[in-house]
Every structure is written in structure tokens, then in C-alpha cells.
Amino acid sequence: MNTVIRELVVGLWDLYGAHHIFGVEAGYRGFYSGEPVALNPKMVHDWHRKGGTVLETSRGGFDLARIVDAIQDRGFNQLLIIKFDNFIEARRSSSSVGRGRRAGATKRKRVASSASPTVGGRCIGHRPHTHSSGRWLGLPIVYIIGGDGTMRGMVEIFNEIQRRKLNIAVAGIPKTVDNDVGIIDRSFGFQTAVEMAQQAISAANTEVESAVNGVGLVKLMGRSTGHIALHATLSRRDVDSCLIPETDFYLEGRGGLLEFLGARLKENGHAVVFVAEGAGQDVIPRSDEAHVEEKDESGNPVFLDVGGWLKLELKKWWAWDHETELFTVKYIDPTYMVRAVPANATDNLYCKLVAHLAIHGAMAGYTGFVSGPINGNYAYIPVEDVARAKNPVDTRDHKWTWVRSLTNQPDFEKR
């Protein structure tokens, strides 16, 4: 996240002469509850070496009218919105101060939803506003960075800007550690998450190999998709079972998880289980009807703790069937460790590419697009398409077949 912010600030400053760049702290609500923070290349020069986000994060606070009012009233004409609702804006350069913002009637290029998702769809527009020296004179642009929820918010902001006929372009950069944004090949942060997940596997293996009948239980991020768990399992190759939201599983009975783990413990003396946070939500008992309806500040369903539940179920199972034998469960939840680390080399390079692609596309006059790779080719994609698209693990794909072959876990189909 910090890397993309850095690359946008440096790119706007050095490549287009935009020297009035501001960050909005505390997410969406920061538009109407705080003052923006001035940003420049010197300030952000080492942000790519920091984890998390320096601009701070928050959930909720999305008030469309107040957000667009703030963009309009404060004179922001470049805006970056990142996952968990952080923002950066770049105001028009001093040479263009006094030019009426609402007076700009020039139409902007829009990547049409009916066009193929490649650079330069069927569009109309104008040239970017630059001085003869090449310095940027005030091209109104909104950069939005985030996951599927943020992309849906981007559609609303884009539509409201269009409704008000404001001369502001909207460009997006997909970001989700879970890799659940559709159409694009991958989102930034995913490679780093998989790398850190392998460290959790290593720790789990070390712990259970040092215990009698030890089971290592590792819960990974993945509310609606199991990409991190899948790729980490394939990369590490010493996981005994991988549980993801896209596949059901059950504990007891023939072909169940407990029977499988019992056989692995008997054979090897230890086992490691990977579980994505969104897995098993339909089999965990819910205490009351209210919990089913509970949502967080962003409107996402509040998930039950599948890791804590599995830990208790494993202990109860062993105490019931093997009362006199030793048994231990080592539960590891590396969620915050994964979020806190800086981007690795692969993600750092990727962040630079998609950030600069977004800058150049917006400066060329495009709007309503998301930048990202499709089949290895970097492209501009209509934001409405990205907001609607999902990216679940295809359990009929060869990668999931590799997981099944590697772990020899059951298919959990009740017979």
C-alpha cells in the first residue's frame, strides 16, 4: 500500500510537475472530518520499505455526497483512494489557480464498458493540460486503490462526479491481499502474503514435529477466496490439509477431516492444516440469529473464528477417542504479521508498474478505468466490470488438483 502511494506521488511530481499533493487520513470520513496532509517525494522516499499504511486506515465512513462535496469544495483535482478507505489528493498546480473548476466543459475519454478490456477502448476526450515545458497544469483526476468493496465505492464516486458534470477523471488500482478482485491476473500484496504464509507453515511444522501427536493449525486471510492458502500449500509442499471457502468440508464420519488427520497422526506422528478465514462458515454453530446478521462498519458479514473453532473441535475429538494418549494443537494466526510487513521485491515492482500505468492513462484523458495485468498484458479495464467481477478459486482447475494430489486430503463429499 505504501509503495503505491510513493510511486503515485513521485510519478506525479517528477513526470508531470504536479507539486501540490495531499493525503487524507483516517479513510473516507477523513474527507469531512480532518485536514489533508501535504505530500512530496522527500516525505515518501522510504515508504516502500514500510509495512501497513502511513496514512492510517479505517472502515466505514462512506458518505458519497460529503466525499464528492469535499473534492469539489476544496478544489482537489487528483485523488487517490486505497483499500480500507485511505486517500491521497493532488491539487492543481499554482499556474492553473483561478481557472474555474466547474466551468470546464471539455469531455473526457471514458473506457467504455462495451469495449474489450485493453488500453484505448472506444472513447472521446481531450488532450491533457500541460505547459510547453511539459509541466502539469491541473488535470482533474481521482485515483482509487482497493479491493472489491473499494471498487464498488469507486463506481459510486465516478457516477456522482459524472452526474454533477465535474471535470474530474477517475482511475483505479486493484489492491487486495486475498487476490479476490476479478479480471486482473493478480492484485498487489498477494505475492508478499504467500511468502509470509510459508513462514507460518515453517513455524507450525517445527512445533508439531517437536510434540507427541502434534497438529499445527494455521489460519490465513481469505474471506471469500482461498488463493493464499492454495499457493502457500503448493509452494511449501508439507501441508497435510488445505481448507478454503470454495469447498465444503465436514469433521466426523467416513471421509471427514478428523478421520483423515487420525490416519496422518498414526502414520507420521504430526500434521499441519491450513484454513482460510472464510472456510467452514456454514458448519460452525451460531449462538443466535442476531450473529447471522452482524456486519462490520464496511457492511461485510462478521465471520466466526474458524481457527478457534477447529482448535476446540480437534481437542474434543482426541479427548473422546484417545483419552489416554498425548495430543497438542499449535494454533497460529499470522494475519497481522502478514499485513505489517513491507512488500517483497515482486510486489514492489508490480506496484510501480500499475501506479505509473494509472498516472499515464489519466493524464492521457481516460476515465472510469482500472489499471492491471490481463494474461500478462497491462491494460485499462472499465471499473464497472472490475467491481462486478469475482475471483474465486476454481476447484476444477489444475492448481486445486495439485493441492489434492500433494496433500492426499479427501474431497469431503458425503456418501
User: Catalytic residue numbers?
Assistant: 178
The DSSP element (H or E) to which 275 belongs, if any, is strand 270-276
Distances (CA, A) of 182 to 83, 151, 225, 389: 16, 11, 11, 5
- Helices (H) and strands (E) in the chain — how many of each? 14, 14
* Count, residues in the chain: 415
Collapsed DSSP state (helix, strand, coil) of residue 87 = strand
Count of other CB atoms within 10 angstroms of residue 97: 11
Q: Which amino acid is at 340?
A: A
DSSP letter (8 states) at residue 29:
T
* Whole-angstrom distance, CA of residue 231 vs CA of residue 350: 18
DSSP letter (8 states) at residue 99:
S
Burial classification of residue 60, based on how many CB atoms lie within 10 Å of its CB (0-12 exposed, 13-18 middle, 19 or more buried) = middle
Distances (CA, A) of 306 to 84, 148, 196, 222, 245: 23, 23, 20, 12, 11
* Whole-angstrom distance, CA of residue 379 vs CA of residue 357: 8
* Whole-angstrom distance, CA of residue 305 vs CA of residue 115: 42
DSSP letter (8 states) at residue 188:
B
